[in-house]
Amino acid sequence: MILLNVVDIVFYLLYAAILIDVVLSWLPGARDTSAGYAVHRVTGVILEPIRRVVPPAGPVDLSPFVAILLLFLLRRIVTDLLLRALL
């Protein structure tokens, strides 16, 4: 059960990092700070491959939305597999 909690925490931290990165992208110069740079490095690993596949919808970048949906799906798969392995 502790492993499931750790998995949940990791996924929630990734969701939060993506949302923070989106907010930082709206603020001029926010990504130039050390915290903004750190968040962008974490989320870039997830968002850059998605950006190569999902084109922007005009001025709107849909990659964070797609990433969160994929993370929800991946979290569900991982927790289901862990539950099956533990039972």
What does the pLDDT average to over 9-26? 95
What does the pLDDT average to over 19-46? 92
- Tell me what pLDDT residue 78 has: 96
Residue 87 predicted with pLDDT over 80: no
Residue 21 predicted with pLDDT over 90: yes
Q: Which residues contact 80 (CB under 8 A, 6 or more apart)?
A: none
The residues pairing with 60 across neighbouring beta strands, listed in sequence order, are: 57
Q: Which residues contact 37 (CB under 8 A, 6 or more apart)?
A: 31
- Tell me what pLDDT residue 1 has: 80
- Tell me what pLDDT residue 69 has: 97
